[in-house]
Amino acid sequence: MQSYRPPSQNGTLSIVTGTGGLGYEVALALSRAGGRVILAGRNAKTGAGAVAAIAAAAPGADVAFEVLDLASLRSVRDFAARLRGSEQAVDRLINNAGVMSPPRLELTSEGHEVQFGVNYLAHFALTAELLPLLRARPGARVVNVTSLAQHYAKFDIENLRSEKGYHPGRAYCGSKLLQAMFARELQKRSDAAGWGLTSLSAHPGFAGTNLFETGGGMSRFVSTRILLPLLGQSASAGSSPILFAATSPEIDGGALYGPTGFMQMRGAPGPGKYAKIVEDQAVRSDVWRRSEDLAGVRYG
């Protein structure tokens, strides 16, 4: 299956969170298209390896690594401060890095359940911190990488952080639903305030990425050895909807993009459907206010 190829990215700067799996594939494709890319992740050794691999695969690539630990809001602030001090504008922010279903409850530096904190809240804070650089580039895009799991989330406004009665799968689904809500609400607020952003959501379908490594036991075995070969696709193919959302001229602000094949698990990228609750503006506004308080940021 041929992956989506982005148009020329000459003269653009993209920030991609996550150095492996989808993040690596997105950064590689953007680099091959001539764009400048900053990969952001917590492990400097892994990041250096990703940069070296991209440089080898795309000679002349302008790609660099910056330390960003999404399990620490201080690290988010420090990363954004460095960029605000060194860059004039950002064309694309791709909020991709994530954690999936750790078997036991894990917490971020601020005491949030790690999937809520890493997958959602840190990206919410990062986007706010980088808003001046995004607003400096007319038409800048913010892409939140969500999942089909959003459709299976049991939304509870009083348990956004999934800290009560922790369940690995429920917490993951909830974090991905929140990312989808964020993408939809960010577009609404950008339109109302004149920020000039295009906010989008994308999901990779059922893609073979390193997220499965955080799961365990029989579930991981069944997913990677049986279901993935039958129904899924590679990380490279899974990156296509993200790249489409980030670069295609044929997108609608606030929309979701994903694979268009069997059950949206594989295939060429195209429009997808949000979970029904994502379209509830009152719920999104409530989540936004609570998220600003939890992240210690204010948009605008």
In a domain, 7, yes or no: no
In a domain, 281, yes or no: yes
Judged against a pLDDT cut of 90, whether residue 145 lies above it is answered with yes
Note the pLDDT of residue 263.
66
Q: What is the CATH number of the domain that holds 124?
A: 3.40.50.720
For the stretch 224-245, pLDDT in tens is 444 544 454 566 778 999 999 9
Judged against a pLDDT cut of 90, whether residue 288 lies above it is answered with yes
Q: What's the domain count of the chain?
A: 1
Note the pLDDT of residue 266.
73
In a domain, 97, yes or no: yes
* SS3 sequence of the chain: CCCCCCCCCCCCEEEEECCCHHHHHHHHHHHHCCCEEEEEECCHHHHHHHHHHHHHHCCCCEEEEEECCCCCHHHHHHHHHHHHHHCCCCCEEEECCCCCCCCCCCECCCCCEHHHHHHHHHHHHHHHHCHHHHHCCCCCEEEEECCHHHHHCCCCHHHCCCCCCCCHHHHHHHHHHHHHHHHHHHHHHHHHHCCCCEEEEECCCCEECHHHHHCCHHHHHHHHHHHHHHHCEEHHHHCHHHHHHHHCCCCCCCCEEEECCHHHCCCCEEECCCCHHHHCHHHHHHHHHHHHHHHCCCCC
Average pLDDT over residues 3-23: 96
Q: Which residues are catalytic?
A: 172
In a domain, 8, yes or no: no
Note the pLDDT of residue 245.
98
For the stretch 107-129, pLDDT in tens is 999 999 999 999 999 999 999 99
Judged against a pLDDT cut of 70, whether residue 4 lies above it is answered with yes
In a domain, 4, yes or no: no
Judged against a pLDDT cut of 90, whether residue 153 lies above it is answered with yes
In a domain, 22, yes or no: yes
Note the pLDDT of residue 3.
79
Mean pLDDT of the chain: 91
In a domain, 1, yes or no: no
Q: Could you list the residue range(s) of the whole structural domain that residue 191 is in? A: 13-295
